[in-house]
Amino acid sequence: MILIRGGVIVDGTGAKPFTGDVAIKHNRIVAVGEKFPREHAEVIIDAKGGYVFPGFIDINTESDHYLTLFTEPAQKTFLLQGVTTIIGGNCGTSLAPILSGTLEPFKKWTSTDKINIGWHSVKELLNILRKQKLGVNFGTLVGYDTVRHEIAGDDSRDLTEKELAVVQKLVESGLKDGAFGLSAGLGHVPGKFVPYGELAKILESVREVKGIFSIHLRNEKEKLFESMREAIRFADETRVTTLVSHFRPLKGFDSEFNKALKAIEFASKRLQLYFDTYPFDTALVPISGLLPEWARHSTLREMLFHLSSHETAKKIMDSFPAYSAKDITIIHADSAPYAIHKTIGEFAESRGLTISEGIIELMKVTKLRAAVLVRSVHMDLAIQSMASSRAIIASHAPSFHDSEHYARLSSTFPTFIEIMEKTGIMKVESAIQKITSLPAKLLNIHDRGTIAVEKKADVTVMQNGKISHVIVNGTLAVEDGTSLGTLKGTILEHES
């Protein structure tokens, strides 16, 4: 038995906090109350002066995109910030279902050479992860871009009637296998050209199983409001719970963001409509995301071809915003590890290049397999948006080996809690609800997200503003701020 003593319990429901003990036996919470006997507890955690929360649920993560589910199964970055459950398959790309046996769409994030693909269906993928074991609970969405790629390849054309029927069957098989819903990446090729009607047809299958629809908007800048109206239309006409992915105010587009935020809040009075966001001024993007839209194709080969032409590369450079030396930080580069942790200014200076030339050079030497943090988010507006009743906090990040170097990757949830407490924008019970029971409700996960008797024992303890202890399925995973390397996560399947 594990006994957590004397902490301020914020149970995830939005109810007022109270001081008490939490007793855990096996993988369940067995008692919540005041001053339980301690003689039967093998582990006692003194939480006096601190908070006791349900384990945080991160509804938008990228450990599947960067394949660290396989290379770093402990998912330490998430555990150390209090996260016990992560959801993959976002932004249109999921590890399954795949027919071809390749992970071609993942090459824009990382090298796929180190992964032995032994699955096709969602069921087979989840069974492999179940045998491998993870440090956190994991569930996935079906990525529409992934499924469509299996049928139409990199072609942006409309699907034929027969092809659409095959795609729908693949999506339905993924949902039947336990996926929590569907995601679509409409902000990049080929998803950008998927017709509204095609996707609306597929969403009929999602509605039948009460899954969710996670949408990366077609445009997050000058046409943000128009793109949000499309997301609202999906929610309205299909009646599927809809989650807008990483909705954040990019600098220079404040007016569009404010209009889009008002639109989602107004529409949510009658629709199940939400958005996820994060408390930082940087966006995490594959380096190909810095290319102008006309050069950002679905295959690496096409994008690298543009970079190989001096004339085209010059045209690309001319399209870049006026980045400063510290606006971009390199955090992942398989083929250029020497570049990791450097700013674009440092990388460019070491080669005697301008900032724009440095970006092009980085794209070339990494063959576009790199990830960067770009300082592009209007922080004040982002914080204000978190107060919305429609906001859910999510990292939109993977667990990397060196994640602790970047708060953007390693501290989404503690940072959010700190900001809410300092600004007084919302009470702690409301803040915790956004990262526990609310995402659990959207995902239809009934046994996690709150601290209550018979719930699964995913618990996070925060003391002095830092995560001190994390329990996953009744097993201590973080002790005194240190990961224990345990692999006690559960593979989650949607209860349709």
pLDDT at 403: 85
Spatial CB neighbours of 146, under 8 Å, sequence gap ≥ 6: 92, 93, 94, 95, 96, 97, 98, 105
Q: What is the distance between the alpha carbons of residues 101 and 105, in angstroms, rounded to a whole number?
A: 12
pLDDT at 119: 95
Question: Which band of pLDDT confidence, cut at 50, 70 and 90, is reported for residue 189?
Answer: confident
- Mean local confidence (pLDDT), 349-377: 96
* CATH number of 56-281+377-410, picked from 3.30.870.10, 1.20.1290.10, 3.40.50.300, 3.20.20.140: 3.20.20.140
Q: Between these two residues, 110 and 412, which has the higher pLDDT value? A: 412
Over residues 201-242, the pLDDT tens digits come to: 999 999 999 999 999 999 999 999 999 999 999 999 999 999
pLDDT at 328: 98
For residue 189, what are the CA distances in angstroms to 231, 287, 376, 457?
18, 15, 22, 41
Backbone region of residue 157 per phi and psi (left: phi > 0; alpha: psi in -120 to 50; beta: other values): beta
Would you say residue 37 has pLDDT above 70? no
Query: Cβ atoms within 10 A of the Cβ of 422, count?
Result: 8
Question: Which band of pLDDT confidence, cut at 50, 70 and 90, is reported for residue 110?
Answer: confident
- Mean local confidence (pLDDT), 115-141: 96
pLDDT at 221: 94
Strands 181-185, 142-143: parallel, antiparallel or unpaired by DSSP? parallel
For residue 263, give the nearest of 230, 222, 228 by alpha carbon: 228
Strands 137-140, 43-46: parallel, antiparallel or unpaired by DSSP? unpaired
Q: Between these two residues, 279 and 302, which has the higher pLDDT value? A: 279
Q: How much of the chain, in percent, has pLDDT values that exceed 70?
A: 99
Would you say residue 387 has pLDDT above 90? yes
Q: If you average pLDDT over every residue of the chain, what do you get?
A: 95
Over residues 312-329, the pLDDT tens digits come to: 999 999 999 999 999 999
* Whole-number CA gyration radius for the chain: 22
Would you say residue 72 has pLDDT above 90? yes
- Mean local confidence (pLDDT), 136-162: 92
- Mean local confidence (pLDDT), 99-107: 85
pLDDT at 28: 97
pLDDT at 485: 95
Q: How much of the chain, in percent, has pLDDT values that exceed 90?
A: 86
Question: Which band of pLDDT confidence, cut at 50, 70 and 90, is reported for residue 79?
Answer: very high
pLDDT at 36: 73
Lowest mean pLDDT, pick from 15-19, 69-73, 153-157, 468-472: 153-157
The answer to whether the 2-55+449-483 and 56-281+377-410 domains have the same CATH topology is no
The CATH code of the domain at 2-55+449-483 is: 2.30.40.10
Spatial CB neighbours of 363, under 8 Å, sequence gap ≥ 6: 287, 288, 290, 291, 307, 370
Would you say residue 157 has pLDDT above 90? no
- Mean local confidence (pLDDT), 356-368: 96
- Mean local confidence (pLDDT), 267-295: 95
Q: How many residues does the chain have?
A: 496
Task: Please report, for the chain, the start and end positions of each structural domain, with discontinuous segments joined by +.
Answer: 2-55+449-483, 56-281+377-410, 286-374
Would you say residue 496 has pLDDT above 70? no
Question: Which band of pLDDT confidence, cut at 50, 70 and 90, is reported for residue 301?
Answer: confident
